[in-house]
């Protein structure tokens, strides 16, 4: 993608931003989700309500926060509370979108950010959950953003840090998680993926510019379902790139 007028991160930001509807709430994490939320506010979703783990709710993202506890996450906000209030808000069903990441994801959207290998004797110890388990358990629709390769898209995650659809249809509900919540989209450097409503398995929905179906299959460690037809994601527009580069992240901290 080096020969294109946008970076891989800029493409991810634009794709994630387009998934957020106006007049909805979104649980925002550090990095790409912050830029995506700000871009949405500046374009198609002026009444998007960003929710940050440390208590900022409904901030106007005029300047890019450096982290979820940055004072900018409270700028002209609806409320400034704390982490317990935010998690309770999610538990009550008031947060529609939740952004997630991880080192591994499987066919049912379960995410691992805890360890690679046996958790008792891991090959690699990762940062852990933070608020990711709460987001994945309680938000109506979760959006995972990952780099797409076989090390990350695995048949079975080594540890379930954040529940997706667990083992398949009905498993979330059987585990006591709220009905009709769970994984919605997976945004990667290759494609956008969703989940089949019946089997709850991951499905290829649309390809990024210049990417083929075979490339996605080759970089996935399990059998993907394929939408019919498979769509194509538009590249970043001139307006989106101008907003990102000139207003949202002029210093290039995350893009």
Report the 3 state secondary structure along 179-234.
CCCCEEEEEECCEEEEECCCCCCEEEEEECCCCCHHHHHHCCCCCCEEEEEEEECC
CATH no. for residue 233? 3.40.1080.10
Instruction: Say whether 10 is catalytic.
Output: no
Q: What is the structure's pLDDT at 99? A: 95
Identify the active-site residue in 10, 53, 96, 240.
Answer: 53
Query: Is 81 domain-assigned?
Result: yes
Which residue's structure tokens are 């290039």? Answer: 252
- Residue 120 contacts by C-beta under 8 Å, 6 or more apart in sequence? none
DSSP labels for 125-184? E----TTHHHHHHHSSEEEEEE--STTTB-SS-SS-SB-SSTTSTTHHHHTTPPTT-SEE
Task: In whole angstroms, give the CA distance from residue 25 to residue 70.
Answer: 19
Q: Give the integer Cα–Cα distance in Å for 178 and 151.
A: 30
In a domain, 253, yes or no: no
What is the C-alpha separation between 10 and 4, in angstroms, rounded?
11
- Residue in this structure with the two tokens 């979108």, named with its chain if needed: 97
The predicted pLDDT at position 3 comes to 56
Is residue 108 included in any domain, yes or no? yes
Q: Tell me, what's the pLDDT at 255? A: 84
Structural domain count of the chain: 1
Domain enclosing residue 58, as ranges? 8-248
Residues in the chain: 255
The residues that bridge with 142 in the sheet, in sequence order, are 98, 183
Q: What is the pLDDT at residue 1?
A: 40
pTM of model > 0.85: yes
Provide block-wise average pLDDT over 10 residues at a time, the chain (255 residues). 78 97 94 94 95 94 88 93 93 95 97 94 90 94 97 97 97 95 97 98 98 98 98 97 95 87
Would 254 be classed as within a structural domain? no
202 belongs to a structural domain: yes
Residue 30 lies in a domain: yes
Task: Examine residue 182 and state whether it is found in any structural domain, yes or no.
Answer: yes
Nearest C-alpha neighbor of 107 from the set 194, 207, 231: 194
Reported as half-sphere exposure (CB side, CA atoms, 13 A), residue 108 has a value of 18
Q: Is 225 exposed, middle or buried (0-12, 13-18, 19+ CB in 10 A)?
A: middle
Residue among 222, 193, 186 at smallest CA distance from 100? 186
């Amino acid at each position: 993608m080096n020969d294109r007028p946008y970076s891989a991160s800029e493409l991810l930001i634009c794709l994630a931003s387009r998934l957020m509807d106006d007049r909805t709430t979104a649980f925002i994490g550090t990095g790409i989700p912050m830029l995506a939320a700000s871009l949405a506010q500046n374009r198609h979703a002026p009444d998007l309500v960003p929710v940050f783990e440390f208590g900022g709710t409904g901030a106007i993202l005029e300047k890019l926060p450096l982290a979820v506890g940055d004072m900018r996450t409270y700028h002209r906000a609806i409320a400034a509370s704390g982490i317990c209030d935010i998690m309770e808000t999610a538990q009550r069903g008031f947060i529609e979108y939740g952004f997630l990441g991880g080192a591994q994801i499987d066919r049912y959207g379960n995410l691992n950010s805890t360890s690679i290998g046996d958790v008792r004797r891991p090959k690699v110890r990762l940062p852990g959950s933070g608020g990711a388990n709460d987001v994945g358990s309680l938000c109506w629709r979760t959006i995972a953003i990952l780099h797409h390769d076989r090390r990350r898209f695995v048949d079975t995650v080594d540890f379930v840090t954040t529940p997706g659809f667990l083992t398949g249809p009905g498993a979330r509900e059987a585990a006591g998680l709220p009905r009709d919540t769970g994984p919605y989209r997976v945004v990667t450097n290759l494609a956008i993926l969703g989940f089949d409503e019946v089997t709850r398995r991951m499905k290829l929905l649309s390809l990024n510019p210049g990417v083929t179906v075979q490339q996605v299959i080759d970089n996935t460690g399990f059998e993907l379902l394929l939408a019919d037809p498979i769509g194509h994601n538009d590249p970043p527009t001139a307006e989106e790139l101008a907003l990102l580069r000139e207003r949202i992240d002029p210093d290039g901290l995350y893009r």
